[in-house]
Structure 1
Amino acid sequence: MLPTSAIPTSSNTVDDCSICLNVLAPGLPLLTLSCNHKYHLNCLASNVQAQNKECPLCRAPIDASIVQLLTSRIQPPIQPHITPLPIPFPSQIRAAYNIPSVEDPVDEAAVRALFNHLASARQAAIASANTASNLPLITVSITLEYGAQISHEESNIYGLVTLQASSAILPSNNESLALPHAPIDLVCVVDQSGSMSGEKMRLLKQTLVYIVEQLNDLDRLAIISFDTQAYDRSHGLKRMNQQNQQILTRTINYDIPAGGGTYIGCGLEMGINLFTSRRTKNSLGALLLLTDGQDNLQHDYSQLMETLPEGVLCHTFGYGPDHTASLLVQLAEKGNGGTFTYIDQVQAVGSAFAMTLGGLFSCIAQQLRVNIEFNGEYRISHVHSKHEHEPKKLPSNKITFKLNDLNADEKRNLVFQLHVPKVNNNQQVEMDNQQIISQNEQTFFDQSTIGQVIVTYVEPNSNQTITTNPVSFQLIRMDQPSADLLQVNYTLDIQRNRVETAREIKRAMDENDYQRSLAILKAQVEKIKASVSAQDPFCQLLVKDLEYRYPSERDYRSSHQNAYMQHSSERGTYAPTTNASAAQYLSYPQQQQATHFQQNQLPPMYIQQQMPPPYVQQQLPPPYAQQ
């Protein structure tokens, strides 16, 4: 990475515009070229419109996108010698003019070539692993709470569908960071209010430059900053070729001052507009929103978030203890299944963004549809997972869960309740592989198929729709099931503890009374301790996290909002060390990207002398703990 202080500057920098020879007064519309020479915006526009497309001082060619902007710009008269009145905040200087956005179009031919390359790379990885050529990207498994139910009684039991994304295509060490990925349209919307000054802004700029460096020529990036107004720093979605990377790096380091108040909505709206106005688009899209404060006035962004295009995820980051965590959680939830990250330590902003970037780089499935269908009178009565589903009105013997995407090495567990009807043993019961077995003078039926699940999804590299093979639900129905068949399934009980903990954390965060909020979490702790899976390492971490006492109510709520989002979505982000249970959701690519960021920002001796970063301290379960 090129540090802020190391970016070269021109030795010919002057205080006058070399076109009109008037002073470059603060507050006037100015534009700095890639050669680092600065001019009045209108003077340079007139120069370009006169077909002078080189820097008047050094004769370096002016970037084509800047030429296009200035050629189309109609400028009002300007008096460069007039000194403007003082403006309260430095960031408002740029409000005097607005350079229109110009989108770099997607290179469709290059994208197709990349998709072919990725398909070949995957086949090569499969071959080297000596696996079958039809290795699925996603495997599906099912679990019911019990192995059997009494045939002449109704009951209500839990069910579980688990989706596991393949990690076979992921190489070891840091090689995956160099592998191509499905092209991304990424918009970073960042707070530049006065509270971001100093170390916060320095580390944020360092992180933005890292993001610029990690994207390739097929990825497109836009950077929006905001205080009480929004500023399009990239002037639209730009492909991250070498030239645009250099321009944007300079912009990040020099043109994002800290000052003014906070209005999240103006930055959010400008970022969403870049997506809705796209003439071309990459297969993946994400908006990253970071703020360290609260809106000067309360706003409802529900209608604005409805305009976010389907498939574009909104990931939010709360920087420090003073942001409104509940608002950022709401934006993420309405942002097509995005995540919320509470950045409790100023120096953790880079790791937080890197983890999200690692997830985006490893997306293997989009538009997932989990279709569950049960036979006869079996009905799904309740859903305990946060994902959207149809029909919304239950009970129903058919249900379809909708998931936006799944990244390599991730897992999703869909938890629901199933109404089990009576079975009349005097009637012929249709079963798959039905057998009558005599044991200890008891007669019972073998496992029977009561339903099945099929998953369809779009592979983002090829845009091909893939359908998994059906997986069947099996449940024994008999008059007197044995004790082992009526034992609660251990795996399902862990997932029940997870979804119930997420629900209770949400309920506690919605409770304004602090003591009543604490009481809700205390009750959930007791419920986990009494469960079948209470001694499971993950459940013990849940208890430890819920029992932790925070120094302030604001820390308590910010940290638990982070925990709620991770436990409900099963998607990893950076988390405070007080949320150790959330570490299990971090995928291998996310950990690689975070480690890569750390190694690129700190000198080798510093890395060796420091304690491991928070995402390593959090007692990751196998295989991560062994990586």
Structure 2
Amino acid sequence: MSTPKNSSNSDTDVCSICLGALVQPGMDLFKTACQHQFHFVCLAKSVEAQNHECPLCRTRLDSLSQIIQTPVQSTSAPVQVPIQAAATPSSTASGFWSTLRRSLSNAYSWLSYSNSSEDLVDEAAVRALSARIQAARQRAANGTTELALITTTTTLEFGGQVSTEASNIYGMVTLKAPSLLPITASEKELNELRVPIDLVCVVDQSGSMQGEKIALLKKTLDYIIDQMSSLDRLAIVSFDTKAYDRSNGLNMMSHAKQQTLHTAVAQNIHADGGTYIGSGLEMGIRMLINRRTKNPVGAMLLLTDGQDNQHHDYSQLMRTLPDGVVCHTFGYGLGHRAALLSQLAEQGHGGTFTFIDQVDSIALAFATALGTLFTCVAQNLNVKLEFDGSYAVTHSHSIYRHEPVQLPSSQVTFKLNDLNSEESRNLVFQLNVPVLVEQPNNNDIIGRVSIEYTDAINGRQIHTPTIPFLLARPAQLTPDSPLLVVNYALDLQRNRAETSRVLKEAVNESNYERARELLNAQSAKIRASVSAQDPLCQQLIRDLEYQYTSQYEFGTTMTNMYMQHGQERFAYSTATTFSSNCYMTSGQERFRSLARKYN
């Protein structure tokens, strides 16, 4: 037997049992006596199902059958390696037995998960709910049958540029989502008329969570359970060095299922052991991948107060997160790796990272995320920006392209995972304006923006009418021409977008003094800008100039801040930062008020 991490089958590159690729992250391989290779977990499942022969050549697998004979244990308790696999080995075979133990532990963990149940979505009930939400919105819109779900506006830094001079000017596309329901909606309507969700909570139960932390985490999970409607589905995964399915899969949140889950949280989650975030991530993602039915919105919430006992890169694992599912991450206290959690959130289809500094703020942080998820109005947005001729968009300052990148094209598409009730997105870009002398009478630059997205309420594909850009290009302009006045709204959003970019640079700067220099330079730049006296700019300056007691606190807080300003989405903020409060929606505020009673 061997369990190599990276090898290929001489006969085939797939596991003949599951038909998946042999080489996969975290999947041990097993070579039988007949020299055929399979995923260890797949072969373990096959043997558990009383198949004691090689699936390819029918050679008996008696040795493996004898090892794998312990019944699968409850998913509420850690998986134990069978006693037969742990018989006293010789010192020369210690590596073999260590690998076998790990493989068996992985196999039994997956076997336990494979027995998890999934309550199927009541698709007829979801359609009926969608119709009720649509009717409520139409009543608020005076009975019109077509609702302008998202409004779009376009802005350029200047109204005109001289045609005989080349320049780079900024432009902006602004998306605005309306309220999901009218402001006159009752509490009952707000509770009942919202999009059903599939939610997986992946939470740390390692030894560092002992005491008040684990107690408050349980209260927060109780809060989340209570906020679920009967059409929502919820799963809870806890992890230390292994992952545990505390809910037995995705459960429809009927009253009875809620009570069962409350009991599971109270009795089965205990702080102990080390930390391996990947075990919880993998189980949570697998639950979402294996769904036979889906609610309109899917999400995963990950919380940890520490870091892995060994370094891991989860980029490949995060690429398996299903489309449309967003991952929000939460770093609790000063022991977590903010860089890892923020990366997981970015790779998780534009999720948020939240630094939770206070013990009693877990519920508020999760409530803010719930307020975001429960008010989703649009998904899979494609914002198509194009200009006639050879006018190139050269740089983008939007987090939706992650970093300013060279884009020598007159057509660019911004991709957003979702847009929630009352949220705005200001996509700032830079436009290369070349010298134009061959057409002195018709040099105006014309551009346009169109949006395609999925309506989260009814699943319809929406295509918006195009919205134009226009930049006048006369042969001459006087210095006092109104066409040369900087657009105030664009200047404000440029300050916001550039601050997000500078904050990310500062977080990644190992030299703390150099990081402070970057923030001070950005603060001075905002002070000299047209929109310097705007309340948002004043708050940005205040937050940039705050002096932290440690570089670690600086890094975690600034990571939280750069993601909020880059995404223009509120997440729980520490008492030292105020500038992101402008992004809070009424839905988030409502769920935060409900969460306070769980502390």
Q: Normalising by the residue count of structure 2, what TM-score does the alignment of the two structures yield?
A: 0.79
Does the 8 A contact of 2:138 with 2:147 survive in 1? no
The equivalent residue for 1:601 is 598
Name the CA shift for 1:456/1:322 in 2 (closer, same or farther; >3 Å).
same
Partner of 1:608: none
Whole-Å separation in 2 of the counterparts to 1:132 and 1:498: 36
CA-CA distance at 1:400 after TM superposition: 1.0
Within 1, Cα distance between the matches of 2:359 and 2:244?
24
Q: Deviations over 1:531-584 (max 9, x none)?
A: 121111111111100110112221111110100110111111111121100111
Out of 327, 332, 341, the position equivalent to 2:354 is 341
1:532 to 526, 530, 538: 530
* Alignment pair present for 1:171 and 2:183: yes
3-state DSSP class of the match of 1:342?
Answer: strand
1:486-525 map, 5 Å = 486-525=484-523
* 3-state SS in 2 of match to 1:237: strand
Residue 249 of structure 1 and its aligned partner are, at CA, apart by 0.6
Change (3 A) 1:493 1:428: closer
1:141 corresponds to? 153
Contact 1:386–1:569 under 8 Å retained in 2: yes
Please tell me whether the aligned partners of residues 495 and 537 of structure 2 are also in contact (alpha carbons under 8 angstroms).
Answer: yes
Aligned with residue 305 of structure 2, among 272, 292, 315: 292
Match of residue 124 from structure 1 = 139
Task: Name structure 1 gaps, 5 residues minimum.
Answer: 1-73, 79-83, 86-91, 431-447, 603-627
Cα distance, 1:171 vs. partner? 2.9
- Superposed CA deviations along residues 290-323 of structure 1, whole A, max 9, x for unmatched, are 0001111111111111111111101000111111
Written as runs of structure 1 = structure 2, the 5 A alignment for 1:152-171 is 152-167=164-179, 169-171=181-183
C-alpha displacement of 1:159: 0.3
- Aligned-partner SS, 1:329: helix
In structure 2, give the amino acid aligned to 1:215. M
Distance 1:527 1:76 in 2: 66
2:17 is matched with which residue? none
Q: Structure 2 matches for 1:25-64, cutoff 5 A?
A: none
Out of 87, 93, 116, the residue aligned to residue 101 of structure 1 is 116
CA distance in 1, matches of 2:293, 2:250: 10
Match of 1:419 among 426, 432, 435: 432
Q: 2:476 aligns with which of 455, 459, 480?
A: 480
Q: Distance in 2 between matches of 1:348 and 1:76?
A: 41
The one-letter amino acid paired with 1:501 is T
Structure 2: how far apart are the matches of 1:170 and 1:381?
40
Deviation at 1:239, TM superposition (A): 0.7
> 1:591 is matched by which residue type in structure 2?
E
For the 8 Å contact 1:389–1:402, the answer to whether it is kept is no
- Quote the offset at 1:523 in angstroms: 1.4
Cross-structure match for 2:457: 461
Answer yes or no: is 1:326 the counterpart of 2:339: yes
Equivalent-residue separation in structure 2 for 1:361 and 1:95 (angstroms): 32
Q: Closer, same or farther in 2 for the Cα pair 1:238/1:540, shift >3 Å?
A: same
Amino acid of the structure 1 residue aligned with 2:137? R
1:619 is aligned to: none
Against the structure 1 CA distance between its residues 449 and 523, is the aligned structure 2 distance closer, same or farther, given a 3 Å change threshold? closer
The one of 285, 291, 316 equivalent to 1:278 is: 291
Matches of 2:72 and 2:218 in 1, distance apart? 35
Residue 596 (structure 1) shift: 1.9
Q: Distance in 2 between matches of 1:463 and 1:402?
A: 18
3-state SS of paired residue (1:286): strand
CA deviations on 1:271-299 (whole Å, 9 max, x unpaired) are: 01101111111121100000001111111
CA contact (8 A) 2:398 2:404 kept: no
SS at match of 2:578: helix
Write out per-residue CA displacement over residues 592-621 of structure 1, whole angstroms, 9 at most, x where no aligned residue.
1101222x436xxxxxxxxxxxxxxxxxxx
Query: Residues 560, 423 of structure 1: CA spacing in aligned structure 2 closer, same or farther, 3 A cutoff?
Result: same
Once the two structures are TM-superposed, the CA of residue 248 in structure 1 deviates from its matched residue by 0.3
Deviations 1:109-168 (A, max 9, x none): 1111111111112112222xxx85534110000110011100221211000000000126
1:169 is displaced (CA, Å) by 2.3
Distance 1:132 1:266 in 2: 50
Equivalent residue letter for 2:286: N
Listed one character per residue, the Cα deviations across residues 8-43 of structure 1 (whole Å, up to 9, x for unaligned) are: xxxxxxxxxxxxxxxxxxxxxxxxxxxxxxxxxxxx
Aligned residues of 1:125 and 1:168 also touching (Cα < 8 A): no
Amino acid at match of 1:117: R
Count of residue pairs brought into register by the alignment: 497
Structure 2 stretches lacking a partner, 5+ long: 1-68, 74-81, 84-104
Indicate the residue corresponding to 2:467 in structure 1. 471
1:193 corresponds, among 181, 186, 206, to 206
**1:613 equivalent in structure 2:** none
1:316–1:339: 8 Å Cα contact kept in structure 2? yes
Check whether the contact 1:289–1:314 (CA below 8 A) recurs between aligned residues: yes
Q: 1:389 to 1:578 in 2, by over 3 A?
A: closer
**Whole-Å separation in 2 of the counterparts to 1:264 and 1:77:** 23
CA RMSD of aligned residues (A): 2.5
The residue matched to 1:149 in structure 2 has which SS? coil
- For 1:428 and 1:512, how far apart are their aligned partners in 2? 54
Q: 1:387 is paired with a residue of what secondary structure?
A: helix
Aligned match of 1:64: none
Q: Residue by residue, what CA displacement relative to the aligned partner does 1:167-205 show, whole Å, maximum 9, x if unpaired?
A: 262434745641322211100000001111111111111
Counterpart residue number, 1:7 = none
Match of 2:556 in 1: 558
Distance 2:360 2:350 in 1: 26
TM-superposed CA distance for 1:427, in Å, is 4.9
Judged with a 3 Å threshold, the aligned counterparts in structure 2 of structure 1 residues 418 and 176 are, in CA distance, closer, same or farther, namely: farther
**Secondary structure of the residue that 2:442 maps to in structure 1?**
coil
- Superposition TM-score, scaled by structure 1 size: 0.76
Q: In the TM superposition, what whole-angstrom CA distance separates every residue of 1:448-506 from its partner, at most 9, and x where no partner exists?
A: 56111111111012110111121110112113324222121111111111111111111
Structure 1 distance, partners of 2:71, 2:593, is 50
Match in the other structure for 1:115: 130
* Cα pair distance change 1:556/1:393, threshold 3 Å: closer
